[in-house]
Amino acid sequence: MNINGQAKQDMTYDAIVVGSGISGGWSAKELTERGLKTLVLERGRNVEHVKDYPTMNLDPWELPPNDDIPYEDRKHYEKQMRTGYTIKESTKHWWVKDTDQPYEEKERFDWIRGYHVGGRSIMWGRFSLRLSQMDFEANLKDGHGVDWPIRYDDIAPWYSYVEKFAGISGQAEGLPQLPDSEFLPPMELSCVEKELKKTMMEKFGRVLTNPRMANLTVPHNGRGQCMTRNLCSRGCPYGAYFSSNAATLPAAAATGNLTLRPHSIVHSLEYDDSTGKVSGVNVIDELTGEMLTFHSKIVFLNASTVGTAMILMNSTSDRFPNGLGNDSDQLGRNVMDHHFLAGADGVVEGFEDKYDWGRRPQSYCIPRFRNVGDDKRDYVRGFGYQGGSGRQGWGRAIAELAMGQDLKDFAAKPGPWSIGMLGFGEILPYEDNRVTLNRDKLDKWGLPTAVFDVKIRDNEYKMRKDMANDAAEMLEAMGAKNVTPYDRPYGPGLGIHEMGTARMGRDPKTSVLNKWNQIHEVPNVFITDGSCMTSSGCQNPSLTYMALSARAANYAADQLEKGELS
């Protein structure tokens, strides 16, 4: 065998997965467990579970106050800081520097992301909700976007499959609009949350339920249970929440079929006209700048919603001059997120002899109730709430007219209970909410940069009124005082739920992917990150990405076994 032949063989795998975040980890696990030699390409550095979580055990006094970064470093994170919580001394190593990773905004768009093994599965919010039949039918029924090519029954077994592995805690409620998961025991509600739950059912017939989250309330599949430190986004020493690093990548590695290659920035996919398939993945080595080409029978794109769309747009050929699989011109369009920052909070009297123990790492959950059943609003779709409660803390001491021992004593007594809720609303798929490439402004690796032109519209603005007013009404109904509704400026992307840039659909003329997440025209390329979403629902999306990834990967493996695709 000649040297070139050997080299090509060394760079050839059964499957290549681009990206190691929440969906790429699942693609890798399933493909390797099905016996496929799989290369995972990750554009950032390696992160090993526990070993590479440098801040996971730091106490407040071991960090700068408010955990903030030095003033002169802020210029590197002007967009990443828009969340207010991402760029902290304890977590800044998980997020990109805007000065290294520039992008352009026609309208404000918050593209908040991290490039390393595990991606945002390390820093995600862990809220885990199923989509429902209502969500899969919504586009068809109200005419926005295109019809999903699947229904709830197609994905339900795969939700169960990924939940049993990942470990989702929560309380079954039997609601059609928010189907139950395979739950581990729920994390408790606080006293005032239980009171609100009672009021909501008695006065409104609405459900408040325990957090539904990928935090383990009991040891599960070799990972430890949550110690309620609420330091999740630093990385968990117990592996008590789901991440690629803690769960899927170790499982993939255990098969012996995984090759993980960090520092591998995918430039483009090579389309082979003679086979009608992708034959290679072009990679820039982040450390050497060298361009390499890897080969495989199938490719899974899990580079994140925007990253995946950018790779496809940069993969041009005679057959696909506008980007791979983009006959429909839908690539990069229909960018969605969840709009939030509208809700209400208030103060609850009468529970001063109670406190809570531990720092519960997620919110209580109020499933969608608007436009459900007979309820009809002047907008379509709906929203759910996430909420929290707690006794007011020592921060009260600042405004208190006291000094000395009096002030210490005051701070040592907690204040009244506060409770609040924050709506997360569906954004419709608008074709002209899009991301495009700027080929005139290249990044430091010579790749085109992203341009965003995305905004929310009348349907979302109308919904936000309910998000604030409904919250206030329910809090007032439980007798809360000082109830304050709010509707604060939201920029698309701030929910960090960006999705929709390569949607699934029934018709190749109006969608990029088919019902198995395959590019209609290029059957050996599968896309199972957020870009595949046909509508957004109002549910946090990661659980759906997990289920679609596992489903598509097993379908791909089945097809390979049948002699298809190769």
Partner 1 sequence: MRKEEINQSLTEEQLISRKEALKRAGLMMGGFVFAPALTGILNGCTPQAGEWTPVIFDADQAATLKAIVDTIFPETDTPSASQVGIPGYIDELLSRNSSKDDQEAFIAELTAFINQSAADLEGPFAAADVDTQYDYLMEIHKTSVGQGETLKDTSIPGFFMKVKWMTVVGYFTSEPGATQVLRYAPIPGPYRGCVPFEEVGRTWAT
Residues 440-459 that bind partner 1 (CB under 8 A): 455-456
- CB of 63 or CB of 140, closer to partner 1: 63
* 403 counts as binding partner 1 under rule CB under 8 A: yes
> Does 289 help bind partner 1 (rule: CB under 8 A)?
no
Quote the CA–CA distance of 266 and 103 in Å, as a whole number: 18
The reply to whether 386 sits near partner 1 by the rule CB under 8 A is yes
What are the tokens at 318? 């005679």
Give me 353's structure tokens: 């002899």
Structure tokens at 396: 């009260």
Residue 562: other Cβ atoms inside 10 A: 9
Cβ 323 to partner 1 shortest distance, Å: 28
User: Which residues in 541-560 contact partner 1 (CB under 8 A)?
Assistant: none
What are the beta bridge partners of residue 365? 209, 386
What would the two tokens of residue 394 be?
Answer: 């020592």
Give one DSSP letter per residue of 254-275, joined into a string: HTT-EEEE-SEEEEEEEEETTT
Stretch 87-116: interaction string toward partner 1, x if CB under 8 A: --------------------xx--------
Each residue 325-364 as x (binds partner 1 by CB under 8 A) or -, in order, gives ---------------xxxxxx-----xxxxxxxxxx--x-
Helix (H) or strand (E) holding 420: strand 417-426
**In angstroms, what is the minimal distance from the CB of 186 to partner 1?**
10
For the window 167-206, what string marks contact with partner 1 as x by the rule CB under 8 A?
Answer: --------------------xxxxx-xx------------
If the CB atoms of residues 396 and 515 are measured against partner 1, the closer one turns out to be: 396
CB of 368 to partner 1, least distance (A): 18
Interaction between residue 10 and partner 1 (CB under 8 A) = no
Cβ-contact 66, 85 below 8 angstroms: no
Size, binding site for partner 1 by CB under 8 A: 93
3-state secondary structure of 119: helix
Contacts of 384 (CB under 8 A, 6+ apart): 129, 178, 365, 366, 367, 368, 423, 424, 538, 539
Instruction: Choose, by CB under 8 A, the member of 371, 418, 514, 544 that binds partner 1.
Output: 418
| Smallest separation, CB 408 to partner 1 (Å) | 5
Residue from 102, 219, 224, 414 binding partner 1 (CB under 8 A): 414
- Stretch 29-68: interaction string toward partner 1, x if CB under 8 A: ------------------------------xxxxxxxx-x
Task: Residue 429: name the closest of 526, 344, 340, 530 by CA.
Answer: 530
Q: Does residue number 394 form part of the binding site for partner 1 (CB under 8 A)?
A: yes
Q: Residues 66 to 85: which contact partner 1 by CB under 8 A?
A: 66, 68-71, 81-85
Who's near 552: CB < 8 A, 6+ residues apart? 27, 300, 516, 517, 518, 526, 528
| Structure tokens given for 68 | 């903030």
Site for partner 1 in 113-132 (CB under 8 A): 125
According to the binding rule CB under 8 A, does residue 156 interact with partner 1?
A: no
Distance from C-alpha of 541 to C-alpha of 530, rounded to nearest angstrom: 8
8-state DSSP, 566: -
Site string for partner 1, 477-516 (x = CB under 8 A): ----------xxxxx--xx---------------------
